Structures are given as structure tokens and as C-alpha cells.
Chains A and B, each alone.
Chain A
């Protein structure tokens, strides 16, 4: 299933690059590729929610609002904290340090799904392709807290 998804994604990407198919990701110029460009799917966020509630909610809260034990993963301070960095940075932070009692225990797919869920809670738009599972590729997607002005 995962492989199928990856292949489909790759085909979409190749088609969009090579044939000018109008997908959001391909349409955006390379220098404006950000979380506002629909970089995850609704289904992926739903999968991520299930992982989140099991693995992350004990500390970060059901609503991602954090608490005394862990910072919020939504809201102004969270977004300011990551603004200007990339999803690769955020993915690496999750991958290398979370869950904090056993960092790296989750699979790359699970981490990417959780990241997709976080993006959905932070009201970044969904798209047609799932998030990458490699941090190097995710580093090409900028985390921007403010929606860029529409370009004509």
C-alpha cells in the first residue's frame, strides 16, 4: 500500500512536472513551496490523528494545546516557533526526540502522518498528495505561519 502510494505520488509529480498538469504542488514556483500549498491529504491527517491520540496526546493534550508537560502544537507561539523553517526540521524534531521516552520508535510513515495531523489542526490546507516520509524532501517545504499573498 505504501509503495503504491509512493509510486502514485511519483507519477503525479512526474506528470505534473513534465506535462504541465495543474496540481498545486507543481504549479507553485520552487521558491514558494510551503505548507500553504496543500502538502498532505485529509486521509493522511486522519491516520495521523489516531497515532497522535495514542502516542502524543498523553503529554501534548487531546487538542494539541499542550500543558505543563509539553508545549502546544498549535496556536500562535507554536507557529512562530517554526515559522521560516521547513517541515523537514519539524519532522526531524519529531523523529529524533519523540515519543520522548523512546525517540524514533514510530515509523517514518507514522511520523509523517502525525505531522499531517498537526498541519490539519493548524488549519493548513489539504492537497492531493501525501507528505513525504524523507526529511530531506520535507526540507523543501517551508513552514510559514502567514499565508502568502496571492500571486497573479
Chain B
């Protein structure tokens, strides 16, 4: 008896019978383009809806239709609300709060229709990925409607969409325990430092939204941050498909191959046996017509040191295509051999039907942290444009195994910085450039795939990188306009990260090297949201290794603008259509005494979690940082750009930064945009914007 069954809490059920009259399903359900039926709008990962009531002429007129704070959906407020709601069949659904509750709202008024939460106790409180997560999935056969989500404690929950109650016929009373039936025994270290089965604290979970394709629910896996792992051994992040009606496991894909499977030999010295992680923690996409699923896989155990996993390490940092019915691998392409930079494939692959050299191609385009958009034929896996293996620097960290080459896309060009050179440093004034040069002189610099170094007091302290752990595009991913065959993607162009390695004390880790800085106490680092959710324990009393030390020149960013960008990339040609700086110039730059009198164009912002929304005419994205300007009080702006040109056509005020990607829908003739905001002093809130009614 290692766990207590989740206690279901369905509140406001008395309201549901009368409140959900609009949601009764009639004929066979087919999503409409006025709805937002899955996390990324559709299974192709487009974040696109062809709506145009809100457009360039009226975006500035948007007003708040409704708003809902998420403080009460957990035993503490949440300041990191990352969800994107669904709106389908007249009801809006979202995950919310530190307990990752599911809420159903009236999409016009925001009225709460029902709420569901699972009280998981220690299992939820010790989960690697806590808080409200990114969202949920909807399924209907035209009669029944179901909502699926995964709890922080890694249980797949199936709810009746009309009532918020668990569906008893699914799994065991509406629950599938995802820590079971996983072709491995989920384990944890005990007090004697033995690796033993433990379903309560065994590390595995997920924060992304499930995906339902046809009658299959597909779930990946996530773990703690991997900069300073306790061990080279961990649970593995396999991907599984489940029957949407019964919860029965239909298939599993081993992201780390088992003996006899393709790729096992890319883990030398038997390292596939103990290495873990290699999960799929972000959104996947599905082509239902082809019956193919596209899995973006993350890094293996130990982000920055791979000496205990020699070899290329399939399917780490690999885009894998599997069969929707069987999970059988169809093709794969490893973006990074022997991962050493935390270049998890971090967002949904985008499915795009394009025309290349006059020929129609069913393509899949993968945005990445390293700023490359990898474009493949999604049937064959063949690159649309050549991706030759090119030599990269081989490092000298003792015991490390290096890949001498990496595939480099020839087209489109990188849309964000993925290496650091002197030319990337701040250059507002010669003095600032000199200061920056002095700071970076303590680090090893180089282009993409410059390997980490040992951190030494005499230098280098580490390799200074861009386009790694939090660079380029992270979990929000990109958007795609199927009309113009254009990808729109936000990127952090200045998320600079030093990667240095220090010998790990035995009491900290059995890995030879972990992330750290010479001369500083070596500690375990924690991931976003870890120990922050409901029922979570106190974090260990250890000081964090300040690997991600603030690198600034006189209070200004070390890297020159643009700090964050949105790029429009035409997939027929593999070329940029436009690129803009997204986000108001930070206060620290705009108000700097050192820059007084200088005319500095908008710089964008250093932030890594901005999702875009594409409509018939606009690209819409909020800001990730707070500013205070002469145009608006302390807050952030939700901005709209002409999608053809990138020209800003409107902006509306938000009380806090965008922390979850925006979505849109139309109900009773009115278009709405809903966005999650939170951060700093502002706890999580979903805000719905709409236009004033006629005559107002």
C-alpha cells in the first residue's frame, strides 16, 4: 500500500445539470473552425483559427469579457499559469491552480460550470512536474464527451465533460495509473541509496496536455531538470497510447531502445540499461489521415555530461514518427547526436502541406531551442532541404564521448542565435562592449554545438551558450498558417547560459561531472514548479549551484538586441518573410542613464515562454515581461501583428505577463481571445478579451 487512491472532488455539481444545456452533443461530433478543440487548436500543432472578427482595424478596442483567478484551485496560489484552454461544443475547459484542477466555464461569461481536482497527497507533492500544467484533451463520439488530463502524480484521468465526474468505465474508476504498465518498474532511491520500486515518489510525471487522435490517448513523460542529476540511473520516459474508451494500453514506444530493438547499440557499454529520462514532455502532433504520430523526444539523463552514456543515444533529441495504431516506429531523425546541451525537442512538430519546387509535399516542421527549423517530408522522414553532417568542436572533459559531427539544416537559416561570438555582445557604446568582452573572457565561446567545458577558476568558467537550455523556442512552440504556408515562431535570442562542469561529490551524485561553477558549492538544481504545487514538501536545504549566473554589463543585458523575436518563415521556399523584435524594451534598458539620449529601437525581451496565435489576418502574442512606459502603467501588452508584414497593428493591456499561449474561438457571433497571465506579484488568471457589442 504505497499510495492512497486519488480523492475526487467534484464541486458545483448541482449547477451542472442546468448550466450545461448548451453542451448536449447531437450528431457525430466534428470540430468547427470556430472552436479550439485541442491544445494547439488542432492535431497538426498550428495554433491557427481562420477567424477575422478581431482584426487590425479593431484590435485596440478589445475589452475584457471575463476573467477568472486560479488561486482557489489548489491549497496555495499559483504564479506560473501555463495553460491554454479548449473551447468545444459551447464549453471552455482548462487546467488551473496549484492542484492542476480541471474547470469548465461558460465561454461567453466565464461562469464556473464545474471543477474537478484530485488530492494526491505525497505522490502529487513530490512530483517532478507540478502546478497547473499546460492543458487537457477532448474526445467525443457524437454522443459521449470526455475530458482527459494527467495529474501531477502521473495519473491519466477521464472525466465526463458534462459533469466533471470521472468516467467509471475508463481504467479503474476513471483513472489509469501511468506509473504502472510501463515496461519498467518506476523506482526511486531509498535511504540506503538503493534503487527500489516506489510508485509514490518514483520520478516521472508530465505537465503537457494529452493528445487524443481517433480513439487513442497519447501520453509522454517528463522528469526533473537534468543539469545536476543525482544519478546516471533514472526512470525512462516511454510514450504510450491508450484506448480512449477503456483506458487499456494499446502500445508503447521505447524512447530508449530495449535489447534487440533498433538503436540499442547507440548506447555503448550497456548504458541503455540504466540511463533514463529521454521522455517526451512537450506536445506531440498527429496526422490522422496518414495514421502517423510525431514524437519530439528530449535529452537522456544528465543534460550536460554524457560520459556515462557513450554513443549517439537514440532516440534522445530525436524526432520520431510512429504508427498511430501500433506505436511502431516508421522513421526517425536525430537532431543532436549524443546530446550535451539540453536541446530537448521542446515543442510540437508542425504539420504543413506545402509546395516545394512546384511539387506538393506533406511536411513536418520542427522548431527548436537551437533556432533551427528542421523540415522533413512527414511520410518518409527525408529532409526537405539538405541537412549535411558537419564537423563540430570535440571537447576535452574527462570521460566524455563526443560526436564529431552534427546535422546542420541548410534551409531555412537559423531564426535565433545559437552560438556566442564577440559580435553578439552589447554594443550600445564602445565602453559597454569592452565591459562585455572582459566578462566573456572568462568563458569559452563558439558557434552552435560548442561543447561544455570543465569549470576552472583560472578559466574558462564554462562554455557560454545561446540556443541551449532556454534559448530559441521552448514549450509554446510555433504557429502555422495553412493558407500561406508560413510558420510563425517566437524565439529567445538572448537567453545566454554558461555551461560549466564540476566534479560531482559522491554524496550529491554518482555522475562524474554535473553542472556547476568552479569555487562554488555544488548543489542540486531544481526545475520550474518543482516543490511548488499543492501538497508539496519543503525543498532540500541546499544552495543552488549558480550555474545560471546573471551575466550583465552595468545592469544591461550582455547580449545585444533583439532580445526576443517573432519570425515568419515561408515553408515553400524555406526563407524568412519577416522577423521582428517582440516585446517592449525592458525598463532597465529604456531607463538606463548610460543610454540617455540614444535612440534605441524596440529591443524585444529576454523570455523563453511566448506562444503565438495566428488568425485570418493577425499574429497575436503577449509579452513575457512587465514594463512601465509612458503609454501604459506597470503591465504587459498583448500585441497583434499583420501576419503578412509583421507590422504591429494593435496592442491591449494585460495586468501581468503572458504565461500561457493565447487561443481564440467564436460563440454566438462573437470572437474571443483567451490568454493565461501570471508572474511576480500576480497570481494565475485566465483573461478573455472580446470586442464591444454593437452600439456600445
| B399 CB, min distance to chain A CBs, angstroms | 25
SS class, residues of chain A in contact with chain B = loop
The answer to whether A77 touches B606, judged by C-beta atoms less than 8 angstroms apart, is: yes
Contact B550–A72 (Cβ < 8 Å):
yes
Whether a CB of chain A sits under 8 angstroms from the CB of B18 is no
Complex interface residues of chain A between 69 and 126 (CB less than 8 A to chain B): 69-72, 74-85, 89-90, 93, 96-97, 99-103
Known: A57-B544, A80-B627. A101 touches B538 (CB 8 A): yes
Q: Is B695 part of the binding interface, using a Cβ–Cβ cutoff of 8 Å?
A: no
- Interface contact A146-B626, CB-CB below 8 Å: no
Tell me, yes or no, whether A31 is within 8 Å of chain B by CB: no
A78 and B363 alpha carbons, distance in the complex (Å):
41
Docked Cα-Cα span, A82 to B552, in Å, equals 20
Assess whether A63 is interfacial by the CB under 8 Å rule: yes
Q: Quick check: B628 and A68 within 8 Å, CB to CB?
A: no
For the residues of B in contact with A, the DSSP-based class is loop
Alpha-carbon distance A84/B555, docked complex (angstroms) = 19
Contact B633 A84, beta carbon cutoff 8 Å: yes
Chain A residues contacting B358 (CB-CB under 8 Å) are none
Which stretch (B24-32, B372-380, B421-429, B585-593) binds chain A?
B585-593
Q: Judging by beta carbons under 8 Å apart, are A68 and B538 in contact?
A: no
Q: How many A-B residue pairs have CB under 8 A?
A: 129
Contact yes or no, A59 B587, CB < 8 A: no
| Residue in B531, B548, B681 whose beta carbon sits within 8 Å of that of A65 in the complex | B548
Complex Cα spacing A145 to B526, Å: 29
Assembly CA distance A72 to B334 (angstroms): 34
Q: Which residue of B lies closest to A81 (CB)?
A: B680
- Partner of A84 from B77, B79, B634 at Cβ < 8 Å: B634
Contact of A43 with B by CB under 8 A:
no
Q: Give B93-142 interface residues, CB cut-off 8 Å to A.
A: none
What separation, in Å, do the CA atoms of A93 and B520 have in the docked complex? Answer: 30
**Interface flags, A7-41, vs B, CB<8A=1, else 0:** 00000000000000000000000000000000000
Q: How many chain-A residues does the 8 Å CB contact rule pick out?
A: 41
A76 touches B555 (CB 8 A): yes
CA distance A99 to B539 in the complex (A): 9
User: Bound state CA distance, A96 and B469, in angstroms?
Assistant: 31
A53 and B467 alpha carbons, distance in the complex (Å)? 31
Closest to A75 in B: B550
> B588–A83 contact, CB under 8 A?
no
Which chain B positions have C-beta within 8 A of A62?
520, 543-544, 546
Asked whether A101 lies within 8 Å of B536 as measured between CB atoms, the reply is yes
* B546 engages A63 (CB within 8 Å): yes
B537 touches A68 (CB 8 A): no
A50 to B628, CA, bound (A): 33
Q: Are B681 and A89 in contact (CB under 8 A)?
A: yes
Give B537-590 interface residues, CB cut-off 8 Å to A. Answer: 537-544, 546-550, 552, 555-557, 586-589
Minimum C-beta distance from A143 to chain B (A): 10
Residues on the A chain within 8 Å of B203, using CB: none
Q: Is A54 an interface residue (CB 8 A)?
A: yes
Query: In the complex, which of the residues A58, A82, A85, A89 contacts B540, with contact meaning CB atoms closer than 8 Å?
Result: A58
A70 contacts which chain B residues (CB < 8 A)? Answer: 526
In contact, A83 and B626 (Cβ under 8 angstroms):
yes
Contacts A76-B589, A80-B587 hold; do A100 and B548 have CB atoms under 8 A apart?
no
Interface string of A43-68 (1 = CB under 8 A from B): 00000000001100111111101111
Query: Is residue B530 within 8 Å, beta carbon to beta carbon, of the partner chain?
Result: yes
Q: Are B526 and A68 in contact (CB under 8 A)?
A: yes
Q: Are A93 and B681 in contact (CB under 8 A)?
A: yes
Decide yes or no whether B673 CB sits under 8 A from chain A: no
**Contact B542 A103, beta carbon cutoff 8 Å:** no
Chain B residue numbers with a CB within 8 Å of A60 are 544
A100 engages B539 (CB within 8 Å):
yes
A82 and B680 contact, CB distance less than 8 A = yes
Is the Cβ of B543 less than 8 Å from the Cβ of A101? no
Q: Are B542 and A58 in contact (CB under 8 A)?
A: yes
Whether a CB of chain A sits under 8 angstroms from the CB of B532 is yes
B227 CB-CB contact with A under 8 Å: yes
A54 touches B549 (CB 8 A): no
Contact B539 A76 (CB under 8 A): no
Can you list, as one digit per residue, whether each of B509-540 has a CB less than 8 Å from chain A (1) or not (0)?
00000000000100101111011100011111
Min distance, Cβ B126 to any Cβ of chain A, angstroms: 11
Q: Is the CB of B539 within 8 A of A101?
A: yes
A-facing mask of B236-269, CB < 8 A → 1, else 0?
Answer: 0000000000000000000000000000000000
Shortest B307–chain A CB gap in Å is 22
Contact residues in B for A72 (Cβ distance below 8 Å): 550
Q: List 12 A-B contacts (CB under 8 A).
A: A53-B543, A58-B540, A59-B539, A62-B520, A67-B546, A76-B555, A77-B586, A77-B625, A79-B588, A80-B628, A102-B538, A146-B591
Given contacts A68-B469, A69-B539, A145-B587, 19 further A-B contacts (CB under 8 A): A58-B541, A59-B539, A62-B520, A62-B546, A63-B546, A68-B527, A69-B225, A69-B526, A69-B527, A71-B680, A76-B552, A76-B556, A76-B588, A77-B588, A79-B587, A80-B588, A80-B625, A85-B681, A97-B76
